[in-house]
A and B are shown apart, each in its own frame.
Chain A
Amino acid sequence: METISRPVVVKRMPERMNLKQARKFWKEVQPFLNSDRPQVVFDMSQVRHIDAAGIDILLQCMREAVKRDGDLKLAALSPQSAVVLELTRAGRLFEIYDNSTAAVKSFSSFLPNALRQLEPQAAQGVMPMFAPQPLSSNEDGAGVNLAA
């Protein structure tokens, strides 16, 4: 079965994520989130200040992405953003990666990797959690749209 990879949008977040900036950011990312099954990565390496409004926008983006059967992942968290995400308990709701590349790859490589891990178990007679499917012909070929 041949699959068509969908683009992964990487969006760099601004240095400050207060109410004003968060609204501006929301307007910028809305088109990407409104697409069918959006795959979005927020690069948070430049975030130096994030408050409750910023966290709220992150959750709103997550909600929109999941509603359309997509996903939102966070990458390259700055220490400041990591502390605030942990403080507000929002960090546990997102998949977080060390860098944007790893986050982008995770969209295409999660399922095959999971299957590779399951194959030896299946050989030992352990029932896999879901039926294996043929690997994508384009494993790492997820298109990347840098929207920074």
Chain B
Amino acid sequence: MDIRAILLIGGIASTDAAERIAGVPIAYLDALGVPVVQRLMRRLRHFGVSKTTLISDARPEIAAFKRCAAADHHVRCLEAAGEEFWDSAEETFQYYAAEGADMVVALRVGPYVEIDYEEMVQHHLDKRCTVSMAVDSQGGSLDFFVLDPSGRFDAKELFQNRLQRGRKECEAFVVTGYANRLQTAADLRRLALDGLLSKNAVRPEGREIKPGVFLGRGARIHRNARVVAPAFIGARSKVHAEALITRGSILEHHSEVDCGTVVENSTVLPFTRLGAGLDVMHSLVGFRHITQLVRNVEVEITDAKLIDMVPVSPISRLAGSTAALFTFLPKQIYRGFSAASQREKPAESPECTEPGGSALTAPVLEAPASGVESSEFPSNLAVMRRYGDH
């Protein structure tokens, strides 16, 4: 059976922040080392879908992420914005129908759904309908449709109405597998975390170096850094000295965690660099933005000392690394000559030849002068804070 797929990314109002993080569609972002859209394409191929067309309304500035995400030669990629987006979907359907496809699957990402495609196609055939729709257990649409190539008008109506309603009532197929609507940063974090905890089919792209800790290819962890399971360190990521990665934290590929930073129950998106000595907790960080999942707040961080972007282009990364390598030694030499010694001279240690008897029997505090309350504290006490107004 010749089954083809139309994969739609976006298609909702561009002003709507849903399904995007810092303007990048969630579908293009990684979940445990592989972009969500690529995972869906793999899944489609696994169930025998022969050809796929990817239609996206993403802006040109995120082209690099699109290239990374849709690095699949078997997929035809189209870019279309506004009304053209849905027109392109309709044209693709007509094209597949004309080519003699037996069935067309249209899905919007949007939601990530683990559907048993064989079951759904069988359900579609059994019901003898032109359009079948996947729904969750509450009856909500998961933007996943199986279309019969003969039902061109039904398909046209469906695409014109942005998958919201068809010409006639669609046959519903209730999905019992894992479903995640991927509308917010919290949803992306949950998808990856569920994968890490084996609650869905999202498997970490890397090898398990110890129980629950997965390491991508070329990732580097400093020997003084600590990684607590479950955790995922993506390909070519760097974890510097004294950093702590704990409680289901996920570092996607090409991310970097500087010295002493704690990453707890958080996701660091690709090409993100966290500065030294930070506390990243219950958050999703990337594209110079931090989304605090507990407070549900997204904050832009423009200070490169805190959160920065690693260049997406490999040439820029190589140039940066080379420059850093050449400047490292001169910098160290200059510092060695010019900077004053940071070491403090040790205080003269008291001689311990005397027996401790006199020291132990001496009063800890000298009594203040009788009748007069001293305004000054004894010099041998460090004053932290004084309360009261007298």
Contacts and interface: CB of A to CB of B under 8 A. Distances in A.
Interface of A: 1, 3-6, 18, 37, 49, 51-53, 66, 69, 71, 79-80, 82-84, 86-89, 108, 110-111, 133, 136
A83 B388 CA distance: 33
B386 to A, nearest CB: 6
Contacts of A83: 283, 290, 292, 295, 297, 299
Contacts of B292: 79, 82-83, 86
B264 to A, nearest CB: 11
Interface stretch (B182-190, B215-223, B302-310): B302-310
B389 A6 contact: yes
Contact of B301 (A4, A84, A110, A111): A84
A69 B305 CA distance: 32
A62 B279 CA distance: 20
Given A83-B292, A83-B299, A87-B290, A52 B306 contact: yes
Contacts of B297: 79-80, 82-83
A52 B387 contact: no
A87 B279 contact: yes
Contacts of B278: 87-89
Contacts of B36: none
Nearest to B300: A49
B388 A3 contact: yes
Given A51-B303, A83-B299, A89 B389 contact: no
Contacts of B306: 51-52, 84, 87-88
B280 interface: yes
Nearest to A19: B303
6 contacts: A49-B300, A52-B305, A52-B306, A69-B383, A87-B306, A136-B389
A108 B390 CA distance: 12
B67 interface: no
Q: Tell me whether chain B's interface is mostly helix, strand or loop, or mixed.
A: loop
Given A79-B292, A83-B290, A86-B292, 5 more contacts: A83-B283, A86-B281, A87-B290, A87-B301, A89-B277
A3 B390 CA distance: 6
Given A87-B278, A88-B278, A111 B387 contact: yes
A82 B283 CA distance: 13
B385 interface: yes
Interface string B270-297: 0000000111110100000010100101
Contact of A52 (B281, B303, B390): B303
Contacts of B386: 37, 69
A71 B388 CA distance: 12
A1 B373 CA distance: 14
A125 B72 CA distance: 76
Interface residues of B, number: 24
Contacts of A71: 385
A88 B279 CA distance: 6
B302 A51 contact: yes
Contacts of B387: 110-111
A89 to B, nearest CB: 5
A111 B278 CA distance: 33
Given A51-B302, A86-B281, A87-B278, A5 B295 contact: no
A88 B260 CA distance: 11
A113 to B, nearest CB: 11
A5 B389 contact: yes
B223 to A, nearest CB: 24
B293 to A, nearest CB: 11
Question: Residue among B277, B306, B389 with the most chain A CB within 10 A?
Answer: B389
A16 to B, nearest CB: 10
Contact of A86 (B279, B302, B389, B390): B279
A71 B389 CA distance: 13
A2 to B, nearest CB: 8
A69 B279 CA distance: 29
A89 B280 CA distance: 9
Nearest to B262: A89
A94 B277 CA distance: 18
Given A86-B281, A89-B278, A49 B390 contact: no
Contact of A80 (B283, B299, B385): B299
A71 B292 CA distance: 29
Contacts of B383: 69
A53 B295 CA distance: 24
Interface string B299-325: 111110110000000000000000000
A84 B277 contact: no
A4 B281 contact: no
A87 B385 CA distance: 26
Contacts of A111: 387-388
Contacts of B283: 83
Contacts of A133: 388
Given A86-B281, A87-B279, A89-B278, A4 B302 contact: no
Nearest to B303: A51
